[in-house]
């Protein structure tokens, strides 16, 4: 379970990567992210401020990394015949704002100003429908496998940029907003490597 945000991330990236701050435009698109527009999004409710980041873990097929299955799922182009598992998920209409691949590459599917369909039935601190007020970040991974240093470095940069842009003060896992239904990002995710934000602690 998420224990609120802990220590600042330690990075071993090159000096240029450490110094470069990700920039977010007025629509919530991040410079440097590969833009792959997803149709699986809509407008946030009026006057709704973004106040939460939800971290997810995903691999398609489960436990396998690489390939284009995740972008295909988020853009409704997943071929159900290409793997037995895909038949059960190809009809889903889901997305996240971002995906961080194993090597640290950043992909963006939905601008932050829009509501991505990532959390499903969810609630945080008594407030339901987390998609309304959150940003979803998928990490390519599995519950029982460690995430990579490159992923933590990119996640740290992205979290800091989103916090600065939107005033976000909390980062939680999918398992925190949908307990009993979801388990990601899993027990191998190291919350100490997520930047500490000045939000309330549990």
pLDDT confidence bin for 17, thresholds 50/70/90 = very low
Which pLDDT does position 150 carry in this prediction?
98
Which pLDDT does position 108 carry in this prediction?
98
Give which of 47, 151, 134, 152 is closest to 96, Cα–Cα: 134
Q: Is the pLDDT of residue 19 over 90?
A: no
Among 49-58, 111-120, 190-199, the range scoring the smallest mean pLDDT is 190-199
Q: Please compute the mean of the pLDDT values over residues 54-62 and round it to a whole number.
A: 98
Which pLDDT does position 12 carry in this prediction?
41
Cα–Cα distance for residue pair 179/172, rounded to 1 Å: 12
Cα–Cα distance for residue pair 120/200, rounded to 1 Å: 24
Q: Is the pLDDT of residue 1 over 90?
A: no
Q: Is the pLDDT of residue 61 over 90?
A: yes
Q: Please compute the mean of the pLDDT values over residues 139-163 and round it to a whole number.
A: 97
Q: Is the pLDDT of residue 30 over 80?
A: yes
The alpha carbon torsion through 188, 174, 195, 104 (nearest 10 deg) reads 70
Catalytic (active site) residue 138 = yes
The percent of residues in the chain predicted with pLDDT above 70, rounded, is: 88
The percent of residues in the chain predicted with pLDDT above 90, rounded, is: 86
As a whole number of Å, the CA-based R_g of the chain is 16
- Catalytic-role residue among 49, 103, 138, 140: 138
Which pLDDT does position 196 carry in this prediction?
80
Largest Cα–Cα distance of the chain, in whole Å? 46
pLDDT confidence bin for 86, thresholds 50/70/90 = very high
Give which of 140, 138, 57 is closest to 101, Cα–Cα: 140
Check if the beta carbon of residue 7 is closer than 8 Å to that of residue 196: yes
Query: What confidence tens digit (pLDDT) does each residue in 88-105 have?
Result: 999 999 999 999 999 999
Which pLDDT does position 198 carry in this prediction?
58
Task: For residue 154, report the phi and psi dihedrals to the nearest 5 degrees.
Answer: -70, -40
Which pLDDT does position 168 carry in this prediction?
96
Mean pLDDT of all residues belonging to the chain: 90
Domains of the chain with bracketed CATH: 15-193 (3.40.80.10)
Q: Please compute the mean of the pLDDT values over residues 49-78 and round it to a whole number.
A: 98
HEC readout, the chain: CCCCCCCCCCCCCCHHHHHCCCCECCCCCECCCEECCCCCEEECCCCCCCCEEEEEEECCCCCCCCCCHHHHHHCCCCCCCCCHHHHHCCCCCCCCCEEECCCCCEEECCCCCEEECCCCCCEECCEECHHHCEEEEEEECCCCCCCCHHHHHHHHHHHHHHHHHHCCCCEEEHHHHCECCECCCCCCCCHHHCCCCCCCCC
Q: Please compute the mean of the pLDDT values over residues 160-183 and round it to a whole number.
A: 97
**Whole-prediction pTM:** 0.89
């Amino acid at each position: 379970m998420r224990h609120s945000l802990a220590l600042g991330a330690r990075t071993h990236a090159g000096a240029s990567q450490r110094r470069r701050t990700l920039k977010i435009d007025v629509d919530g698109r991040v410079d440097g992210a590969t833009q792959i527009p997803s149709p699986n999004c809509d407008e946030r409710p009026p006057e709704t401020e973004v106040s939460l980041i939800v971290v997810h873990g995903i691999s398609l097929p489960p436990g396998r990394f690489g390939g284009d299955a995740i972008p295909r799922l988020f853009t409704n182009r997943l071929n159900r015949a290409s793997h037995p598992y895909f038949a059960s998920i190809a009809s889903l209409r889901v997305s996240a704002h971002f995906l961080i691949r194993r090597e640290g590459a950043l992909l963006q599917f939905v601008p932050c100003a829009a509501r991505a369909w990532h959390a499903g039935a969810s609630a945080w601190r008594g407030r339901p429908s987390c998609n309304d007020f959150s940003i979803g970040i998928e990490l390519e991974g599995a519950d029982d496998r460690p995430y990579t240093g490159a992923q933590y470095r990119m996640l740290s940069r992205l979290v800091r940029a989103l916090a600065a842009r939107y005033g976000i003060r909390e980062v939680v896992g999918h398992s925190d907003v949908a307990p009993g239904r979801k388990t990601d990002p899993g027990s191998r995710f190291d919350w100490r490597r997520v930047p500490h934000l000045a939000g309330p602690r549990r």
